[in-house]
Chains A and B, each alone.
Chain A
Amino acid sequence: MTSLGSLALTLAFLTAVGAVCAAVASARLNRPHLLTTAVRLLTGHFACLTVASFALLVLLGRSDFSVAYVASYTEHALPLGYKLSAFWAGQEGSILFWAWVLGLITVIAAWPLRRGKGVEPAAVLGTLAVIMGFFAALMIFAADPFTTLSVTLADGNGLNPMLQHPSMLVHPPLTFIGYAGYTIPFALLIGALVAGRRDQQWIASTRRWLLFSWLLLGAGIVVGGQWAYMELGWGGYWAWDPVENASLLPWLTGTAVLHTVIMQRSRGQFRQWNAWLITWSFVLCIFATYLTRSGVVQSVHAFGQSNVGTFFLSFLLASLAAGAALIFWRRDTLKPTIQTLDLRGKVFLVVVTLLVIMTLATGIGTIFPILSAPFAAEPITVDQPFYNTVVAPLMLVLVGLMAIAPLLKAGPRGWENLLRRIHVPVIAAAVAAVIVVILGWVSLWSIAVAAIAGFAFAALALDLAGRYRTEQTQPTPRPMSQVLVAQRSRYGGMLAHVGVILMAIGIVGSSVFNTSDTVQLRPGETTTVADYTLTYRHLHQGRGPNHTAVQAHMDVARGDQRFTLHPQLRFYDKSDKTHAKIALRTRLDEDLYITLAGWDEGGQVASFRVTVNPLVLWIWIGGIVCALGFVFAWLPWPRTVTVAKAVPAPAATSTPTAPPIAEPSHA
């Protein structure tokens, strides 16, 4: 099976090289049929990666401990689901998984191009083939998942206990799919730049891939936060760790470009922004991987230091250089067709500027030890207060701008429209702020977020009411569901904004008003944290499938409510490390979160960290609402009138009237 896997990887590399050659030859020799060859080779590449992935899954499932990767990340006693999830638990496997996902979406994106003509589809396919070839080469030369050991081990090392959680079955795949997804917009951009496209059609195909990637990466980040909350036992969900930040960077630029593509498509504006943001989103995905795999900055979670970091850094710089050179070369085609921005355009400009600044600030904070090294006696690292000071206020302004989004109309009378309809939302904002103060949640952050939420919901309600009234004046009024579906892009975006505002409520509630205490208790002793009275009863041990758990019995009272929680410390058979399994009582208003820290004297003394986190559940609810909004908006766009007609490039292309790229059928 290892020979099959290695052979498949070698063939994958060769097919990618073949696809690059076919794409280049198609453009240079003006032979459109070679595009079909390139697409077939890319499909073959994906088939090879599928075989390699299947081989690795079989090896993992069979617990073949003659393979270094299988022995490093699994053990006999590991449940089958976690054995298979070890596919993406380690460096070599995760690179294969990423390559496989990239192969799949490349085939989906490339298939409509097989009958294309000209330089644009050739450039798109060539770019995709180069990227896929890079991953195949990486696995062959630096991160081979099929390396065998000189002797077959009786049992493996087992999977990191913290990865033995259902979220870890979901979080890494979502994140990797999100990363891989940004490859397609980058390739489409390269194609459009090489062909000198001046029309807006290519951006429509790109937008749906951007939505897809944004959704998956965002979901990956949120699920990762939930995993950290449930598994790490420190009571939080986001620590501004370099690895977390790394995944946030492409998501921020991806959020920015989702807004600017709307303006390019509807008014031919923000073209250069789009080109840069798409390039940066792709490059930052590679940067995230580089940061995780190279060990250049200290992180509490990393894949360890290895030479794949050098590969990723070289690839990152080459991609950035290629993108920048093409954007510079085609700067004339990236000029806006309409110079003047209306109010909505101006707000979009502010939003995009804020997101770019947040990306820069987060990026600078993440690599601050590297940046500070030449100027300071020793490298300096920045921590949570830096991000809370720099990024959090910008996020608040951004959420505020989301709140006014329903009141923004395209066109010259934007201010007039806004001022005419702003009264009710302002009143709602004031009422929400007063309610928060009355409830005793007094802080600048809580008042601001409450006011923003009040404003946002009132503005959205006003918008929907206006739509309804307008519809009723029509000769044959449609039901509201039809109206919403007809404008799914707009209302999908609004729903996503609502999700983000709900998340902001959860983040502020849990960050500003959380209560945490560390207590040492003897059996029968009681302590009080916030409104909860906790009584420690006893400890006992029990067996799980591959671990022994020490479990505390904690009786909890809050008003008339009585319940029992069981925080655990787990000791895995293949691990000398302890794993805390938290006890959680989650409600809409707050979470009670208990971690067993340790015990002594046969359980006669036990230590606990008790945290009361208000409104955390709203973060996860907000994430779901946001995702629903994007799924709603992801449905195919209704036809709209494009501002500019397709204008051929002035020169430098062999086929100046390259046809638009067909939209992927599934997207």
Chain B
Amino acid sequence: MQHRSIKLVLASAAIFGAMSMLGYVGVQRGWVYLLEVDAFVERTSLHDQRVRIAGLVAEDNLDSRPAHLVARFDLLGDTARLPVEYRGVVPPMFHASVEAVVEGQLDDAGVFQADVLMTKCASKYESDEHAQPAHDWSDLPTEPLP
């Protein structure tokens, strides 16, 4: 019985050790600070780090150019705002006033250079009458859809 207990303790210790090591390596590879806009603007010590920031996309200066794979906008917190330049495929659900999460780093000019842009696809969908369409398709030829 004692022999069984020793084996059990050794096996548990081995599993715990292996998992701790895997967990440590995993966190080292995959961690990033997650902040709201206000917290990021306040914490200057994080301005030279890669971080993930959540906020609301401002309506007044959104410049989204999906064809050129770039979007420039301000991300709003409760009091602060952060200029963001995102390069990559602009998510289809991205538009003004949407909740967005960006990941990247602040550059010397104070613009947050993001290479990840995610928008909340909340199941609770509510239309926003104030938002402007991101595209104008009026100059495209009309054909029936297949």
Whether the pair A298, B66 counts as a contact (CB closer than 8 A) is: no
The winner among A368, A551, A575, A606 for most chain B CB atoms within 10 A is: A575
Docked Cα-Cα span, A385 to B28, in Å, equals: 9
Would you give the shortest CB distance from A533 to chain B, in whole angstroms?
21
Count A-B contacts at CB 8 Å.
Answer: 207
Is B48 positioned at the interface, with any CB of A under 8 Å from its CB?
no
Task: Pick from A48-56, A153-161, A646-654 the stretch touching chain B.
Answer: A153-161
Whether the pair A598, B123 counts as a contact (CB closer than 8 A) is: no
- Complex contacts, B88 vs chain A, CB 8 Å: 518
Is A605 positioned at the interface, with any CB of B under 8 Å from its CB?
yes
- Complex contacts, A550 vs chain B, CB 8 Å: 135, 137, 140
Given contacts A378-B39, A542-B142, A576-B127, contact A597 B69 (CB under 8 A): yes
Whether the pair A597, B67 counts as a contact (CB closer than 8 A) is: yes
The winner among B95, B118, B121 for most chain A CB atoms within 10 A is: B121
Contact with A along B115-146 (1 / 0, CB 8 A): 00011111111111001111101011111111
Is B3 positioned at the interface, with any CB of A under 8 Å from its CB?
no
Whether the pair A387, B26 counts as a contact (CB closer than 8 A) is: yes
Whether the pair A90, B31 counts as a contact (CB closer than 8 A) is: no
Whether the pair B137, A576 counts as a contact (CB closer than 8 A) is: no
Whether the pair B140, A157 counts as a contact (CB closer than 8 A) is: no
- Complex contacts, B131 vs chain A, CB 8 Å: 576
Is A390 positioned at the interface, with any CB of B under 8 Å from its CB?
yes
Docked Cα-Cα span, A602 to B119, in Å, equals: 26
Whether the pair A380, B22 counts as a contact (CB closer than 8 A) is: no
> Residue A303 contacts which of B29, B39, B123 (CB distance < 8 angstroms)?
B123
> Residue B122 contacts which of A301, A389, A579, A609 (CB distance < 8 angstroms)?
A301
Whether the pair A578, B92 counts as a contact (CB closer than 8 A) is: yes
Docked Cα-Cα span, A378 to B46, in Å, equals: 10
Least CB separation from A157: chain B residue? B127
Whether the pair B137, A571 counts as a contact (CB closer than 8 A) is: yes
Whether the pair B132, A576 counts as a contact (CB closer than 8 A) is: yes
- Complex contacts, B128 vs chain A, CB 8 Å: 576
Would you give the shortest CB distance from B5 to chain A, in whole angstroms?
13
Whether the pair B127, A303 counts as a contact (CB closer than 8 A) is: no
Whether the pair A598, B65 counts as a contact (CB closer than 8 A) is: yes
Docked Cα-Cα span, A542 to B144, in Å, equals: 5
- Complex contacts, B111 vs chain A, CB 8 Å: none
Docked Cα-Cα span, A605 to B125, in Å, equals: 31
Would you give the shortest CB distance from B142 to chain A, in whole angstroms?
5
- Complex contacts, A487 vs chain B, CB 8 Å: none
Whether the pair B124, A387 counts as a contact (CB closer than 8 A) is: no
Would you give the shortest CB distance from B105 to chain A, in whole angstroms?
15
Docked Cα-Cα span, A389 to B120, in Å, equals: 26
Whether the pair B123, A300 counts as a contact (CB closer than 8 A) is: no
The winner among B19, B30, B66 for most chain A CB atoms within 10 A is: B30
Least CB separation from A384: chain B residue? B30
Contact with A along B88-116 (1 / 0, CB 8 A): 11111101001001000000000000000
Q: Which A577-620 residues sit within 8 Å CB-CB of chain B?
A: 577-580, 595, 597-600, 602-603, 605-607, 609
- Complex contacts, B35 vs chain A, CB 8 Å: 378-379
Is B17 positioned at the interface, with any CB of A under 8 Å from its CB?
no
- Complex contacts, B95 vs chain A, CB 8 Å: 576-578
Whether the pair A160, B121 counts as a contact (CB closer than 8 A) is: yes
- Complex contacts, A302 vs chain B, CB 8 Å: 120, 122-123
Whether the pair B135, A598 counts as a contact (CB closer than 8 A) is: yes
- Complex contacts, B15 vs chain A, CB 8 Å: 353, 357
Whether the pair A386, B32 counts as a contact (CB closer than 8 A) is: no
Counting contact residues on chain B (CB < 8 A from A), the size range is 35 or more
Q: Which A462-491 residues sit within 8 Å CB-CB of chain B?
A: none
Docked Cα-Cα span, A501 to B18, in Å, equals: 25
Whether the pair A304, B26 counts as a contact (CB closer than 8 A) is: no
Whether the pair A380, B33 counts as a contact (CB closer than 8 A) is: yes
Whether the pair B22, A393 counts as a contact (CB closer than 8 A) is: yes
> Residue A72 contacts which of B65, B91, B124 (CB distance < 8 angstroms)?
B124
Q: Which B59-87 residues sit within 8 Å CB-CB of chain A?
A: 65-69
> Residue B140 contacts which of A158, A299, A300, A602 (CB distance < 8 angstroms)?
A602
Would you give the shortest CB distance from A213 to chain B, in whole angstroms?
23
Docked Cα-Cα span, A379 to B40, in Å, equals: 12
Is A544 positioned at the interface, with any CB of B under 8 Å from its CB?
yes
Docked Cα-Cα span, A103 to B125, in Å, equals: 28
Least CB separation from A302: chain B residue? B122
Would you give the shortest CB distance from B60 to chain A, in whole angstroms?
16
Is A163 positioned at the interface, with any CB of B under 8 Å from its CB?
yes
Is B41 positioned at the interface, with any CB of A under 8 Å from its CB?
no
- Complex contacts, A575 vs chain B, CB 8 Å: 125, 127
Whether the pair A579, B144 counts as a contact (CB closer than 8 A) is: no
Would you give the shortest CB distance from B130 to chain A, in whole angstroms?
9
The winner among A353, A548, A605 for most chain B CB atoms within 10 A is: A548
- Complex contacts, B123 vs chain A, CB 8 Å: 89-91, 160, 163, 301-304
- Complex contacts, A157 vs chain B, CB 8 Å: 125-127
Whether the pair A607, B66 counts as a contact (CB closer than 8 A) is: yes
Is A139 positioned at the interface, with any CB of B under 8 Å from its CB?
no
> Residue A599 contacts which of B67, B122, B141 (CB distance < 8 angstroms)?
B67
Is A40 positioned at the interface, with any CB of B under 8 Å from its CB?
no
Would you give the shortest CB distance from B84 to chain A, in whole angstroms?
17
- Complex contacts, B121 vs chain A, CB 8 Å: 160, 162, 232, 300-301
Contact with B along A288-312 (1 / 0, CB 8 A): 0000000000111111100000000
Docked Cα-Cα span, A361 to B122, in Å, equals: 26
Least CB separation from A354: chain B residue? B15
Would you give the shortest CB distance from A576 to chain B, in whole angstroms?
4
Whether the pair B67, A605 counts as a contact (CB closer than 8 A) is: yes
Docked Cα-Cα span, A380 to B146, in Å, equals: 47
A-B contacts, 29 listed (Cβ < 8 Å): A158-B127, A160-B123, A300-B101, A302-B123, A361-B23, A365-B26, A368-B27, A379-B33, A380-B31, A381-B32, A382-B30, A382-B31, A386-B27, A386-B29, A387-B26, A390-B23, A518-B69, A541-B143, A548-B137, A551-B145, A579-B92, A597-B69, A598-B65, A598-B67, A598-B69, A600-B68, A607-B66, A607-B68, A607-B89
Residues of A within 8 A of B (CB): 72-73, 89-91, 157-160, 162-163, 232-234, 298-304, 353, 357, 361, 364-365, 368-369, 376-390, 393, 518, 520, 538-544, 548-551, 566, 568-569, 571, 574-580, 595, 597-600, 602-603, 605-607, 609
Question: What 8 A-B pairs come out closest when comparing CB atoms?
Answer: A598-B66, A386-B30, A385-B30, A160-B125, A389-B26, A542-B145, A600-B67, A385-B29
Known: A551-B145, A576-B132, A603-B140. 8 other contacts (CB 8 A): A157-B127, A301-B122, A368-B27, A368-B31, A390-B26, A541-B137, A578-B95, A599-B66
